[in-house]
Structures are given as C-alpha cells and as structure tokens.
Structure 1
Amino acid sequence: MPIEGLQGEDIPSHILWENVKVDAIQVSFDSPLKLKDVFNAKTWEVKDNNLAIKKIELGGYVGLSFETSKVSAIEVVVPVKYRLFLSNGDVIKETKEIKLFRPELEVKVSERKITIDPETLFVKGRMGVKNIGRGTLIMRISAAESGMLETPPEHREFAEKFVSDLFEEMSELTEEFPEFQPIYEEMIEWENRDLNLMELTEDERNSVVEYTNKLVKVLGSNKALLQGFAEAYAKAFARNTELIDAVQKFIRVYESLVSKDILLINPFDEILLGEKKEEITLKISQTDKVYDTYDDIALPKIEFTSRGKPVKVPVYRLFDWG
C-alpha cells in the first residue's frame, strides 16, 4: 500500500507471501477508505470495514482496491490492519498506514479596493491566494457582473484552432493504430459535450476518471502509439506558430502557478475597466485532480479603478500567489 494519496482517488494494496501456506486473510480498515475490489480471491465477504478472504485462487498474492472520499480534514492518517492465517496455525499480523491529503485554498482580501496603472498594468491591493493543503488545486475565476470578464480573442482563437488541428492529427493515428479508434471517438464526444470541470456531477466525474484511465492504459500498452500521441500534440503546436507568443505566455504563468500547487485554467481572461470606478464581485470555482466537489468561494465586492483610463488586465495579476 502506498504511504500517501489524494483524497478521492483509488488506492491499491497488495498482499504478497512465499514459502508459507495461507488459508485465510482478514483486513480491517477505517473511513474514508471503502473496499472497491478484491483480486485473486475465490470467496470473500466484507462487513462494515472488515474484509474476510476465506479462499484464495492462486497462492502468493491477493490484490485489493480501495475507494477514498474527501473529508473535512486536509490530512488524515488511516490504518489498515492485515492478518494472514497460516495452515500451521500461526497468524501473521501487520499494520500499514496511509496519509490521505487534499488541497485547500486560502484567500485573503486585505482591502476592498484595487487600483490598476493603465500604463504598466501594475496592480495595487492584490488579493492573496495560497494552497495550504497538498495536491494540485484547479481553479477558475469568474465575475458575477455580466460583461466584466472576457477571454482575449487571440487565446480563444488558439484554443479553437489547436483543438481542431489536434483532432486531425489524432485521426491519422487511428489508421495506424486501430486500437486507438474507440478512445479517439470518445475524445470527440467529450469535446462536443463542453463540460465545465468545476460543475461535474458525480456520474460525469466518474466517467471522466474512467476515460482517463482507459487512455493511460491504451497508451501505456504500446510505445509506438504513445510516441505518435505525443507527436500529434507537437504537430498541432507547430501548425499554430503564429500564435506561439500566446502559448509561451500561458506556459510561463502555468509553470509559476503549478509550482505552488495551483492550476488556474483561465489566467488570461481579462477584467474590463472603463474610465469610471467599477464594483466587481469575483467568484472562485475549484476542484482537484480527481474532479472532486469543492465549494465555490465568493469574494467580497471590490472597487476597481484605473485612474480614469480604460484598461484590460489578466485576472492572474489580481492575486499574489502563495
């Protein structure tokens, strides 16, 4: 069993033995672990948080898979107790612990007034944002007021053209690797559904995780396919060199935030300010790498001013990160 994992993801556990005959196995565990599956066991039953394996198919190995769920604590240590009953009457006892963690966003608004220099775009009165937990937090910033936040045309153009070119490259992969065809078709379905990662239902979240696992499995089973998949991304980028400045800017911001365990998925959406002061209410939507549900964070209404001149400022510049 791993020593730690993200709350909400599946956790594997392997029981291995040699040179002994194991007749039965008992495993006890606590919440938020929940038994998901048992491998290489002919007969077994689970009651509450206790698993009893009464008959093993092939000696030497039993595999377990646990589900986990998000809890209020940022970190929780969960013990798992194993007992192996040998044919000679001996009992082997062992306890393992796993630390389950999750991200947690802390937002500090020291003053409810932000001033933006229209010449330098220097922002005075930035809000503080920090991931005080562990694991990457995925977040999106939106505005309650209509028309106050928009995606720059060049970034929208890049995203649309890149996706179109990428699917064209992926289509060619299906001709060389027929096993990639079902994954490719499902990829198109996901793109057409245009899901908001911050507002997934439990069924949608499970479907996304299931699809991701299938993609990883298919790519991991064929090195040539994996290389072709990576090359498809490289070719799609190469076909959009006229937009490379937007890409490089995104990568720089992406790397600086990911180093702080935060992924802002709309860093270049812009706050639009006119000559007059504006009062804007921002909202932070959030999730994690397994797309678990987190409460939105509604920030207090903030007064924005740009010294009497119209200005556009990327939302990532409104915050001090970490």
Structure 2
Amino acid sequence: MREFTKDKTMSIYFFETDQQQQTYLTERLPDETLNFCSEPLKTAAQARDMFDAEIISPFVHSHVSADVLDALPSLKMIATRSTGFDHINAPCAESRGIPVCNVPTYGENTVAEHTFALILALSRNLHKAYMQTSAGNFSLTGLQGFDLQGKILGVVGLGGVGRYVAQIARGFGMIVLACDPVEDSEKAERFGYTYTTLPDLLGRSDIVTLHAPLTSETRGMIGSENLSLFKRGAFLINTARGELVDTEALVRALDDGILRGAGLDVIAGEEVFSEERQLLLNPNATAGSLKTALTNLSLLRRPDLIITPHIAFDSLEAIERLMITTVANIQAFRRGSPQNVVHG
C-alpha cells in the first residue's frame, strides 16, 4: 500500500455525485480537500486534469482502466461507491499498491424489492395497462395477468439480494429454486429455497431472476445455449449486471416465443441510452458500438419488455447506507487500516 501522511489533507475526487451527496460528503469529511464531478470518470484525458488526486470515489458508470491509473500518479486509494467493482481494473490497482475498497452491503432488500416490482409489472401487465389508459382506452383486452402463487421462481445467485428475493417470493406463495456455486443448506432451509443445477432451474422456472456477480465465468451466461433450456413462455428478470445476458440472443428468444417477456434494470452497453445521439453522429464510432446502440434502442419499442434505467439500487435509505460506508472506508484508510478491500 502506498504511504501517506495521516495529518495531511488529502485531495479526494468524487464522480457521479448529485448535490445532496456532495453536501453529505462535505459535512462528514471536513478536513479533506474534496472535488466533485457529476459525470463519470472514463478516460485518461479526464484523469490528467486531476493529477493531484490521492483518493478517487467512482460509481458504476466510471471506467477506471490501466490508462486512467497511469494518468493519476498521486493516487493512493479507490473508494468505489458500489458493491460490484467490474468497472475498475482492480488487479492493476493492486499491483501498484492502491487498495480498492467497495461497499459490500447497502441495498440487498432495495434491489430485491425492485426485482419484484418488475415481476409484478409483468405478471399483471401494468406497463401495457398504463399505456392504454393514458391513451383513453379502458378495454381489458390483452391485459389479463397471472397469479404468482404456486409459480416457480428460479433465483440465479444466492448472495444477499438473492436471499431477499427468495424470502419475498415465499411470501407470495411461490416455489423457489436456487442455483449458486456455493450451497448453504442452513440458509436454504431458513429462506425456503431448494438448490438445483442451472439447466434444471431454467427448464422448470416460470420466472428466472439473475443476481450473480459479473465475472469471466458469468459474462454472457444467459446466451443462446442457456436460453434454449428455458421453460417455454417463461419470464427473465435482470437487476444484476447487463453483461450476464447476451442481448441479441434475448431478442431472438422473445421473437421465437421461448420467453414471454423480460424485466431489465440493466443491459449490456446501457450507457448508449443517454449517449446514442452522440454515438450515432460520431465518425469514429466502431461497428461494435453502433450495433450495440441500435440493438439496445430497438428494445425500447418492444411491448414484451419492461426496462428501467439501472435504478434498482436507488432508494433513499440505500443511498444513505452507501454513503455511510464510503465515508467509513476513506476514514479507515486514513487511519492506516483499509477496510472492505477487494481483490481482482
């Protein structure tokens, strides 16, 4: 770990912050030099303007690559305001003695509740009903839903969020199947789910919900091969990471009737929703980025999809917990005992 002087004011840069977060951080880190940016950190060119940064605190839309790290010669710590850290080149940071500290828990129940918001919206056609009634059409045609009681919910990934989802599902009278590399029989009994293999879960579940981390093993785990195993007419929910799902394969599965619908809070390449105009007009845009943009934009017109803009984590209480832990991570590092250090 890079050395620092405990009684010296440190230069800290926070990215993707709003005014409320900036006020909170200013009040709780009064002895540091704080710099705020509402935009994500993505390029080395941006980082070069922050060459004095000793601590940076990105959020999920920032990309802390090796090039960005090269442009930050004074950097001593990264305090990401998230549980996931796939937006940071953690091995590179670790090799340079720069600890990457995350927020291990802050929104398990929050994300689980949003998961069920998507499930309920799909099961009762709330999105279609809203659009119809907004247009003055009060017909019931095409709006009949289905009960959750007695349905099988397949939960992929039984960390904190997955366990909350299983617990909520049991309250609805659902049968819960679970798939996770590490099985915990005590928690399975307590939260009321049964472990099985991924192929069996996909083949039996009426609704499949993803709560796995993004790793080299899980990237694209829901692709053409696994989608072919789904129970015909099932629904897919993803509030975890967009890259868990092959978007093109998902579209084919919807077109072919393998899936009846999907609820997505995250999509691979989701940043194009706010940048599509600049991307489409950019003469240097790659064929891959343009294809991702067009594919994702086409999803917005599908009546069998509900898409929310990566807000599953975003409740008042969850953000407060996130900020509390981020401040504690910075203070622990300043004391010389970093906490919540992740390893790539």
Q: Same fold (TM over 0.5)?
A: no
Which is bigger in relative contact order (C-alpha 8 A, separation at least 6)? Answer: 1
Report the TM-score, using the length of structure 2 for normalisation: 0.26
Larger radius of gyration: 1
What TM-score, normalized by structure 1, do the two folds share? Answer: 0.27
More strand by share: 1
Q: Which has the higher helix share?
A: 2
